[in-house]
Structure 1
Amino acid sequence: MTSMLFDRRSLLRAGAAGLALASLPKQAGAQGLSGTVRVWTFLGADGQSPREVVLREIIKRFKAAHPGVDVRIEAQPFQELEVKFVAASAQNRAPDVIWMRDTFLDLVQQRGALANLDDLLSAEFKAKALPDLYPVFVEKSVFSTKRTSLPLWPSPAQAIFYRKDALAELGLDAPPLTWEKFIPVAGKLTKGDRLGFGLPTNDNSVSAFINIMSGFGPSIFDAATGQFNVTGPEAKEAANVVRQLVANGALSPTLLNAMGDDIQDQFASGRFAMVQAFAPRFQQYKQIAAGYSGKDLAVSAWPAFGTNPPAVLLGPYWTVGISAKSANPAAATAFVESLFTEEASLEWAKTAGLVPDRRSVLRNPYFATPAASDIHAFTALLSAPGVMTFPQRMPNITKIFPVMNTALQELIGTKESVDAILGRAKSTLGW
């Protein structure tokens, strides 16, 4: 009897020990990740822009914590990231981590190319980091309970950058915040070789025309379809704004093929007093300033129409997701989470001048210093009454921006009627 009891207890102990041993690899795997994580982003592995510098530091810290993981940055042209990713996913050659613009989220997730992050993110991240991110950005990434991505660098993506020294010539501290007052000021800022206003007219990742329309508020987008009325009264009023800016010399009919990079480089040389620019590049604009002092660079919301509040359009902005076909989802998830640590958020702010993703980081003493004044300007815009996002589902997203940019070029460079130009845009979109 004693022998049988001993044997049974021995078997139970051995079984328990076996279960414990069986659980060790899983626990060790969480801490001792290995393999390769391929990352598609528009940032270069060896680039020198502030955001690239921060990304390298994050990767360095991640590799120190996970020496068995090789993080490979495979930079892609930002205009092609999402479409290339969808194709790569269909061909089973997708990277593990993908950076996407929010306007492409619906297109990518409809193709089944993204993993559900709620199945991958750690319990600690869900409990501490996720609630610490800006809700307006986080909620947009959830489609029918599926969390497709995490928003990076919360900001009013396409804002107006302006030179305080140029505005001071007219006795102004900042651009007027209604189009009725903005238009004549922009015209007066044209002086010698300097133009009052610069817009990217050939950058298919943005549309200055839609930014102008945002001065009417979120009602410009149909709640059910995500479309806007291309030939409606709001679009016609936006078109008339463009024509008035051309007529008073604020916009040049010769600048019809300007990309965002073209605007940035020319603004640095003193070519413009105000421009439409990508908010996360604010520090880069400051650093390359040559035709003016970088200390004079400031940011503004977009002017409004009538009694509407100044417009702050949150998008296109960047988000980060994981491929549904990732070969290494555990390591990929750990890397994505490393982009959103408090330490990373503070680095994005200090080095790149970006609003930190983690709101709690704003309590850091750094944000009470003069060096953080620009970040406070952006956080103020994020809480402004005119803040809005693109609809979660936007149809024809690969066509909308190029079609509306063509219309913008025609409005600036031709005398064709507004009705004809907008009618052609609507027909091209098939709306």
Structure 2
Amino acid sequence: MSWWRRAKLFIGTGLGALLSTGAGAETLTLYWNAGHAYQAYAEVIERFEADHPGWEVRWERFQWPDMRTKLIADLAAKNPPDLVAEPGGWVQEFGQQGLLLPLNDFVAKDGEAMGFPEDWQVRAVERNMLDDQYFGVQIHLTCGTLVYNVDMLKEAGFDAPPATWEEFREVAIATTGGGRFGFAPNPSIGYYWSWFLQNGVTYYDPETNTVNLDSPEAIEAIQFLADLIQKDKAATTPVAGSDYEGPQKLFTANRAAMIITGPWDVKPIRTGNPDLNWAVAPSLNHKEQATFAGGVSLMIPRDAEHPDQAWELLKRLVALETEIAVTKEAGMTMPRKSWVENAEVQADPVIGSFGKCLPYAHDVAAELRLTGKHARIDKLLRSVIEEIIYNQVPAAEAMPRFAKEANAILASN
């Protein structure tokens, strides 16, 4: 690929936007997560441009919180991008607000040829629907689980990764020292859910229209993590902000024995430290073995200037051959059933390990999203968890206060 093409594809804003839009060219704007700007997607975009003379794709990359801020402003101004990759939950949230284009007409025209929805995992379809309308198409289907430094554990006397909370704490303490930590937690709120889920906690009860995070189990879960940081000194204090790559960077630098992450970190670890001896373990078990499900979907805003072209690009981005190429490049896990059955996918030990956690992974906010109040409550939860983790407010004090405020939001019109 020429330097000009690389500049156009990989510089999403500023000068890159100016370079990518020639006189008389039509511009298709794509919002994307910075961590997912894989070469395989760049090549899809390049082929799309070659097949559509006169069209340029402006590929803008953000961290998720920054993208959300920008997207909300764009939607309010009725000047949104043409196609958006979202981290889960935004499809139903923005769809309920009438801000997304229903995709049913596109699916009726092209669904059979592209295998949608039949070739997608059922939950990957349902999480992007409202009633009988499709508002998004899943492009990644993921889960987070335990990743560990084999050598650091062996040096501390452990031949296998921990399987329970008690074992995890023991390993974290034993592998801490000399400027290295046993565990590096992530500041992004989704990562905290592995602890809640393993203690049998659910986010929302639709029958009572209440959140459940004031229970003894929820309090115990978040206090366990806080104590690991504050009392045991066996975990780093996560750096607040929009960059969720911090724990991966510590792990790759051989400074953290364990992290909880998903397939999105496979490529950064492999390329950042090819000599690192690391492995993927099953998720921990406390009251139950569980973890959070994740994934990225593509959606088209209702006011997009070029919805037909956005759909054409979407079809290419979710094609099976694209999925396989991204898995080979970056280790990402995918929503297609045919992807799971692919021989190359099944032969990869790292990808196979992540795939084994999918059956017990939960989409924690699935029912809460349907209330239309998920974003407000998640923001409130993030604030309360930060009080516990950073300001050492006891979970027994903070979580009931959160539940009271969250349930007031749910009870309001």
Normalized against structure 1, the TM-score is what? 0.78
1:211 corresponds to which letter in structure 2? S
Contact 1:121/1:333 (<8 A) preserved: no
Question: Any conservation in 1 of the 2:140–2:333 contact (CA below 8 Å)?
Answer: yes
Contact conserved, 2:201 with 2:212, CA < 8 A, in 1?
Answer: no
Q: Would you say 1:285 and 2:269 are equivalent positions?
A: yes
AA of the residue aligned to 2:291:
V
TM superposition shift of 1:145: 0.9
Q: Deviations over 1:334-391 (max 9, x none)?
A: 110001112211111111111244332444443364xx221111221113xx221123
Paired residue type of 1:375: I
- 401 and 163 in structure 1: CA distance in 2 versus 1, 3 angstrom threshold: farther
Q: Is the 8 A contact 2:38 2:326 kept in 1?
A: no
SS in structure 1 at match of 2:53: coil
Range 415-424 or range 266-275, more displaced? 415-424
Letter in 1 for 2:350: D
- Mapped partners of 1:160, 1:360: distance in 2: 26
Determine the C-alpha separation between the residues in 2 that align with 1:336 and 1:95: 13
Tell me what 2:162 maps to.
176
SS of 2:138's equivalent in the other structure is strand
1:235 and 2:218 are equivalent in the alignment: yes
Matching residue within 128, 142, 150 for 1:141: 128
1:421: which partner in 2? 398
Larger Rg: 1
Matched, 1:391 2:372: no
**Rounded Cα–Cα distance in structure 2 between residues aligned with 1:92 and 1:412:** 38
CA distance 1:196–1:70, shift in 2 (3 Å): same
- Residue in structure 1 matching 2:139, options 141, 152, 167: 152
CA spacing shift, 1:411–1:379, aligned 2, 3 Å: same
- State whether structure 2 residue 189 is matched by structure 1 residue 215: no
Question: Which one of the candidate residues 181, 185, 188 is aligned to 1:199?
Answer: 185
Structure 1 residue 106 and structure 2 residue 118: aligned? no
Contact 1:187 1:248 in 2 (8 A): yes
Does 2:345 match 1:345? Answer: no
Contact 1:209 1:405 (C-alpha < 8 Å) held by counterparts: no
Q: CA deviation at 1:239?
A: 2.8
Structure 2 SS opposite 1:155: strand
Counterpart AA for 1:283 = K
Give the deviation of 1:249 after TM superposition: 2.9
Q: How does 1:118-129 map to 2 (within 5 A)?
A: 118-121=104-107, 123-126=109-112, 128-129=114-115
Q: How does 1:266-277 map to 2 (within 5 A)?
A: 266-277=250-261
Q: How high is the sequence identity, in percent, across the aligned residues?
A: 22
Counterpart amino acid of residue 419 in structure 1: A
Distance 2:36 2:222 in 1: 36
In structure 1, how many angstroms separate the alpha carbons of the residues matched to 2:358 and 2:329? 20
Find the residue that maps to 1:102 and give its secondary structure. Answer: coil
Residues 242 and 331 of structure 1: CA distance in aligned 2, closer, same or farther (over 3 Å): same
Q: What does residue 313 of structure 1 align with?
A: 292
What SS does structure 2 have at the residue aligned with 1:193?
Answer: coil
1:39, 1:96 within 8 Å by CA — same for their partners in 2?
A: yes
CA pair 429-301 structure 1, distance change in 2 beyond 3 A:
farther
Amino acid at match of 1:133: W
Give the AA of the match of 2:93: L
Partner of 1:382: 358
CA distance in 2, matches of 1:322, 1:195: 42
Cα 1:113/1:405, change in 2 over 3 Å: closer
Contact 1:40/1:81 (8 A) holds in 2: yes
Mapped to 2, the partners of 1:228 and 1:430 lie a distance apart of 6
Q: Secondary structure at the match of 1:136?
A: helix
Q: CA offsets, 1:50-72, max 9 Å, x none? A: 74312111112222333343222
CA contact (8 A) 1:214 1:220 kept: no
Structure 2 counterpart of 1:300, one-letter code: A
Give the number of aligned pairs: 378
Indicate conservation of the 8 Å contact 2:101/2:300, yes or no.
yes
- Summarize deviations over 1:250-287 as a string: whole Å, max 9, x none: 224x5553742222222222221011334312221221
The CA deviation at 1:225 is 7.2
Aligned to 1:14: none
Partner of 1:5: none
Q: Is the 8 A contact 2:92 2:135 kept in 1?
A: no
Of the structure 1 ranges 164-173 and 112-121, higher mean CA displacement relative to structure 2 is found in: 164-173
- How many angstroms apart in 2 are the aligned matches of 1:140 and 1:121? 16
Query: For structure 1, which segment, 168-177 or 236-245, has the greater mean C-alpha deviation from structure 2 after superposition?
Result: 168-177
SS in 1 for 2:142: coil
